[in-house]
Amino acid sequence: MTAEHTQPTGAESAGTSSCGCGGNHKLSDACRARIVALRKDYPQSRAALLPALHLAQAEYGYLPRPIVDEIAELLDLLPIQVQEVVSFYPMFQNSKVGRCHIQVCANIACALGGARKLVRQIESKLGIRPGEVTPDGRFSLAEVECLGSCGTAPVIQLNNQPFIERVTAEDIDRVLQADDPLQIGREAPEISMIPDGVPAYLLPPNGQALRTIDNYLAQGGYQTAQKAWREMQPEELQEIVKNSGLRGRGGAGFGTGMKWTFMPKESQKPCYLAVNGDESEPATFKDRQILQRNPHQFLEGVLIAGRAIRAQAAYVYLRGEYVTPYRILMEAREQAYARGYFGDNIMGTGQKFDVYVTRGAGAYICGEETGMMESLEGKKGQPRKRPPFPAASGLWGCPTTVNNVETMTHIPAIVRNGAEWFKTMGTEKSTGNTLFGVSGHVRRPGVFELPLGTPLREIIEKHAGGTPSGRPVKAIVPGGVSMPVLTADSLDVRMDHDSLQKAGTLLGTGGVVVMDDSVCVVRAAAVIARFFRHESCGQCTNCREGTAFLYRLLVRIEQGDGTAADLDTIAEVCSFMEGQTICVLSDAAAWAAGNFLKRFRADFEQHIRDKRCPFPDSFEM
Ligand SMILES: Cc1cc2nc3c(=O)[nH]c(=O)nc-3n(C[C@H](O)[C@H](O)[C@H](O)COP(=O)(O)O)c2cc1C
Ligand code: SF4
Ligand code: FES
């Protein structure tokens, strides 16, 4: 029932080794050399820790203590500083896993898509449970939270390979029967599109990808960045973006131009741009589409933003599971360096601007901006107390602006076409297009570029094709699972900041999850609560205890063991979790659970009255 994220065990005792080194754990000379070379990308060597751990794990399959010690020595750290980072991040394994480590996403979109059946199939064929390794060391199994591919649910990942999407029982059989399951690859389905008639500027034309720099240059690419660095002052760029009304697309909706003005005009210290591509909140899978299909427009946005805040470098933080977007982005970056758009003398201006890409390692909290900065610095991704705010003291104590990947991708179009052009799309206070990701019970899950303010009903029924079963919609999460759930009464709400606020929720990341009336919403709330319990970084008592308590209560009610008093307890626990903690993960967990209860109270009461779940056709948890 529960999806524990336990470290796999068992292969050690079976005498198998995913590294095959016979117990003499040592990094290869090539790996050591690559780790040493990483140090130069960062002002402090510790910041190379996550990339170093990824390299070592790719070589070894896991991170045994001698390898931890070796990395510590290479980066001038204490072994405990490395060990605490290894144990914080779910992607780093400190005990052996199978040679093929099968990770099945168990969060809401995949659960709605039948992930539980896949887990049962694997369990019965291999005779292992999540957290275990087969006696021959071939396979291990883990249930993981959202992989950022909710539109192609259910999704699995083998080791750190590209995802296998829209997985069927036959796919699982193929994996389990293959001589080398890691060779099983599959073309990722194309799921992002521009609906007819939309004046789009974020996604390339349907069916195309602008991955090569020549294609991008042929469309006028990088010309706006040239103009920004050659002819425009930072204040001018800030003003255009402020006037455009662009609000950040990372979830909080803060004005981008306004945020840029918080950066100092003069600073003794270097200034940085930190770009948030962590994208780990269930229902959110839009930034991945940009990176895979339009990486140069994103990089051009980074260049212009760098100019606008007088940054010396940009650090892009990309979620660790995004293997394909990482590869595509790194290729684009290499092309852009080769043509002189980044580096020591960018575009012949005599000015220096670099962009680095760091992969995260599976912790959602590293999407919170200060958690992300800790992680970029090579530490556990635990959010910082504010003040000081990032513009005063961010990365390595230097002035820093944090912006989302999609936010960056709007910038070239805004600076090229002007603020007035941008305001012709969207609503008065929510300007421009955005990428709505739609998953769950819809015929055509995917990412749609549409103006802000598009009615929710249009997104679900027209673009995503309505429910496959033809059953009515029962519940909708409008903007990532942090955002309060809506009932079908709200289907006509417009998807912009003000309208959603009036409807008692928030736009968040624009990631919409649709649930038809077969769904047990108590179960849905429990799956979402499990995510927050797993992702709490544990610093604040109210969050650490509150997320665990909410999950336990919801499971109890869902199983038919709840009491009427439990409903009051949920409301009370939520009240302790809001506005009391270092970051808003705690608030988000409370909004999610509290609003499922508030908006579907009758379902909760029926579970308690009937002492069982009254929805026999519901998805399994
Ligand atoms: C728990 C938590 C997770 C977050 N995850 C992300 C994320 O994955 N990507 C993102 O851009 N913003 C995320 N945010 C919001 C960031 O803190 C920050 O507001 C955002 O990156 C700023 O960029 P923007 O102004 O362009 O939206 C998260 C916030 C919280 C509290
Ligand atoms: S609210 Fe939760 S996730 Fe945020 S800092 Fe506190 S314990 Fe960590
Ligand atoms: S990929 Fe499974 S819920 Fe997002």
pLDDT at 120: 98
Residue ranges lining ligand 2, Cβ < 6 Å: 365, 383, 536-540, 543-544, 581-583, 585-586
Which atom of ligand 3 has the smallest separation from the CA of 107?
3
pLDDT at 23: 64
Is the domain spanning 213-423 CATH 3.40.50.300? The answer is no
CA of 252 to the centre of ligand 1 (A): 7
CA of 435 to the centre of ligand 1 (A): 15
Percent over 90 (pLDDT), the chain: 95
Model confidence band, residue 422 (pLDDT cutoffs 50, 70, 90): very high
CATH of domain 29-88: 1.10.10
Amino acid at 396: W
The 10s digit of each residue's pLDDT in 187-234 is 889 999 999 999 999 999 999 999 999 999 999 999 999 999 999 999
Q: Is 365 in the pocket of ligand 1 (CB under 6 A)?
A: yes
- Mean residue pLDDT across the chain: 95
Torsion sign across C-alpha atoms 220, 241, 386, 383: negative
Select 521-610's CATH number: 3.40.50.720, 1.20.1440.230, 1.10.3720.10, 3.40.50.620.
1.20.1440.230
Residue nearest atom 19 of ligand 1, based on CA coordinates: 252
> Which of 112, 116, 155 to probe ligand 3 with, by most ligand atoms within 8 A of CB?
155
- Span 366-394, average pLDDT: 98
Paired tokens of 523: 């179960």
Is the domain spanning 433-454+468-514 CATH 3.10.20.600? The answer is yes
> Which of 284, 369, 408, 481 to probe ligand 1 with, by most ligand atoms within 8 A of CB?
369
Paired tokens of 250: 């990372």
User: Is the pLDDT assigned to residue 332 strictly greater than 80?
Assistant: yes
User: Is the pLDDT assigned to residue 16 strictly greater than 60?
Assistant: no
- Span 406-411, average pLDDT: 98
Residue nearest atom 8 of ligand 2, based on CA coordinates: 537
Q: What is the DSSP string of 180-230?
A: SGGG---PPP--EE--TT---SSSPSTT----SHHHHHHTTTTHHHHHHHH
Tell me which of 442 and 24 has the higher pLDDT. Answer: 442
pLDDT at 6: 34
CA of 445 to the centre of ligand 3 (A): 12
- Span 490-496, average pLDDT: 98
Model confidence band, residue 60 (pLDDT cutoffs 50, 70, 90): confident
Question: Whole-angstrom Cα distance, residue 529 to residue 511?
Answer: 17
At 330, which helix (H) or strand (E)?
helix 323-338
HSE, side-chain direction, 13 A CA sphere, residue 326: 20
Q: Is 402 in the pocket of ligand 1 (CB under 6 A)?
A: yes
Evaluate whether 98 touches 8 at the Cβ level (below 8 Å).
yes
CA of 362 to the centre of ligand 2 (A): 16
**Closest residue by Cα to residue 374 from 11, 5, 88:** 88
| CATH class of the domain comprising 100-183 | alpha beta
Q: Is 254 in the pocket of ligand 1 (CB under 6 A)?
A: yes
What is residue 511's three-state secondary structure? strand
Domains of the chain: which residue ranges?
A: 29-88, 100-183, 213-423, 433-454+468-514, 521-610
